[in-house]
Amino acid sequence: MASNQDEDRRRAEKARQVGLFRYALIQDLLDPALTTRERGRLTRELAAKEHTDPFGRQVRLSRGTIDRWARHYRIGGFAALVPEPRKAVPRTPPEVLDLAAALKRENPARTAAQIQRILRTTQGWSPTDRTLQRHFVNAGLTGTSGDDRSVFGRFEATRGNELWTGDALHGPKIGGRKTYLFAFIDDHSRASVGHRSGFAEDTVRLAGALRPALAACGVPESIYVDNGSAFVDTWLLRACASLAIRLTHSRHQALEKLLTHLVGTRAARVPEHLPNRHLAVVAAVRRIGQPDQSDPAAMIERTWLGGRPEPWMLDAANAYGVTHTVFHLTNWAADPDGLPEHLQEYLHRWLPAWVVCAGVLDLDGDEVVGQAGGLDGEVAGDDADFDGHRAAGPGGDRVVARHGFWGGHQLSGQVSSISPSAAFSASVTLS
């Protein structure tokens, strides 16, 4: 049988590995220039050490064993060092195995455990189910009948650039820092079209692998990736959308079933979250394709940004909430229209002043600046709710210079506006 031949080849290969191990151990002893005293001292040194055998085990050999191997080599050469494969005599009666095979042929759906119970009932004795299963494999009796058999084959794209597959690999530590490898392969040719290593698993390294691949190999029809943080980032989605590439993420059916159950529980309908955190939960539910019964308008009104408070009341905690409210409403800038128009106008008016005067780092994200209308106009100061004074900036830009404490103090001075370029420069400096 083919399986028996494969097993014989594996055993022969293991025997040759043992022979090579023995030869590598005794080859220094075979030097004819060695005296008897020198050969004896070398043999004792070998016997005192531990050696790694071909199977990774640490072994210690006696002096007599080493001398015997050297003697066998001098008589019969390398073949004498290769152990003879064991000839196992089957202990299971052939008639029992024939009966088990007949039961399997009668009903291919029977398992080895079921046939074992039948043999014990009818014969009073049976080999183990593992022995029966091994016998079925050797006899080609595994699987079910042809009508119920499912055929699985290795998938392969039919042409180049039809499908690229991307993934990230956690590599070794270099200089105490963990490394990551991003790579893309063409599914048809199995060629690596792009790769990039780095110290972080982020979109910067992902772009470093994908951009050269697109430049060198062209644009694929589709890209298949998993759900890692870099691959679900909107940067990759926007890049694929601009190049008409179909982006497909692997699906975890068991996880999706669990999420469907959790979303349907009563606990999921009564979460106690901060308002902007509640927006994040709703966005996650929407992302996994589950129905959402929440009232978006009411949720937005409960956030700090939705209430459009007096601008001088902004602090670091609320700045964090403003930023993430914009993130969740716009799906991280993938849907700019997700932020209501009245909130866009509010940000357009006050965001430049916050960035320049308050110096709040959480407010200079691209998504937030973009939702402020691109800073394409000036912030009117006629009805401003804070005090400052006019100052000339580089190139004629007008900025609001901080005057006094940031807060609701009524300070003397003229309220002025901020030009877009000055606000942008300040945000870059702060970041």
Cα 399 to Cα 388: distance, rounded to the nearest angstrom: 10
| Structural contact between residues 283 and 334, judged by C-beta atoms closer than 8 angstroms | no
Tokens representing 424? 């942008």
Query: Is 392 inside a domain boundary?
Result: yes
Cα angle, residue 183 at apex, residues 177 and 185 outer, rounded to 5°: 165
3-state secondary structure of 95: helix
In terms of Cα–Cα distance, which of 375, 381, 283, 378 is closest to 332? 283
Residue 410 shares a structural domain with residue 337: yes
- Domain membership flag for residue 322: yes
Determine contact, residues 414/421, Cβ cutoff 8 Å: no
Alpha helices in 27-156 (DSSP H): 36-48, 63-76, 94-106, 112-123, 129-138
Task: Answer whether residue 254 is part of any domain.
Answer: no
The CB-side HSE value for 399 (13 A sphere, CA atoms) comes to: 20
CB 355 within 8 A of CB 382: no
b (16+ CB within 10 A) / e for 189-222: eeeebbbbebeebbbebbbbbbeebbeebeebeb
Phi, psi for residue 392 in degrees, rounded to 5? -85, 135
Q: Does 277 fall in a domain?
A: no
Same domain, 71 and 99: no
The enclosing H or E element of 406 equals none
Query: What is the pTM assigned to this prediction?
Result: 0.34
Please name the residue that has the structure tokens 């001098």. 74
Pair 197, 103 in one domain? no
* 100 and 203 fall within a common domain: no
**CA-wise closest residue to 358 among 409, 323, 393, 312:** 312
> Which residue shows structure tokens 């000839």?
87
Residue 418 and residue 321 share a domain: yes
Which residue in the block uniquely carries the two structure tokens 């064991």? 86
Cα torsion 265, 267, 270, 272 to 10°: value is -150
Asked if residue 126 and residue 76 are part of one domain, the reply reads no
Regarding beta strands 164-174 and 222-225, do their DSSP bridges make them parallel or antiparallel, or are they unpaired?
parallel
Whether residue 65 is found in the same domain as residue 101: no
Residue 409 lies in a domain: yes
Residues 377, 398 contacting (CB under 8 angstroms)? no
Residues 319 and 415 in one domain: yes
Which residues are CB-contacts of 208 (< 8 A; sequence separation ≥ 6)? 182, 196, 198
Cβ atoms of 386 and 311 within 8 Å: the answer is yes
CATH for 200: 3.30.420.10
pLDDT at 344: 87
Q: Tokens 């800073």 belong to which residue?
A: 375
Q: How confident is the prediction along the chain (431 residues), in pLDDT tens digits per residue?
A: 455 677 778 888 888 888 888 888 898 888 888 898 999 999 999 999 898 888 888 899 999 999 999 999 999 888 888 888 666 666 788 888 888 888 888 888 888 888 888 887 777 788 888 888 888 888 888 765 444 444 444 567 889 999 999 999 998 999 899 999 999 999 999 999 999 999 998 889 999 999 999 999 999 999 999 888 888 888 888 888 888 898 888 766 676 677 777 767 777 666 566 777 778 777 777 766 666 667 778 888 888 888 888 887 887 778 888 888 888 888 777 677 788 888 888 888 888 777 766 554 455 554 454 554 443 333 333 333 323 333 333 333 333 333 222 233 222 233 333 333 333 333 333 33
Task: Report if residue 343 sits inside a domain.
Answer: yes
Q: For position 377, what pLDDT does the model report?
A: 37
Of the candidates 215, 218, 196, the residue with the CA atom closest to the CA atom of residue 207: 196
Domain boundary among 57, 81, 105: 81
**The token pair that represents 16 in the structure block:** 């040759």
**Contact in structure between 123 and 99 (CB atoms under 8 Å):** yes
pLDDT for 288 equals: 67
| DSSP symbol at 357 | I
Q: Domain range holding 20?
A: 2-81
Residues 188 and 222 in one domain: yes
Say what the pLDDT of residue 274 is: 73
The pLDDT score that the predictor gives to residue 211 is 93
Q: Same domain, yes or no, for 420 and 335?
A: yes
Identify whether 133 is part of a domain. yes
Calpha distance 100→260 (Å, rounded): 46
Q: Where in 201-285 does DSSP place strands (E)?
A: 222-225, 246-249
> Is there a single domain that holds both residue 115 and residue 183?
no
Is 320 found in the same domain as 405?
yes
The reply to whether 32 falls in a domain is yes
Domain count, the chain: 4
Q: Is 340 exposed, middle or buried (0-12, 13-18, 19+ CB in 10 A)?
A: middle
Token pair, residue 354, equals 């916050």
What is the C-alpha to C-alpha distance for residues 230 and 181, in angstroms, rounded to an integer?
12
Measured CA to CA, the distance from residue 230 to residue 362 in angstroms comes to: 21
Q: Which of 208, 223, 249 is the last residue of a domain?
A: 249
Q: What pLDDT is recorded for position 380?
A: 35
H-run or E-run covering 205: helix 203-217
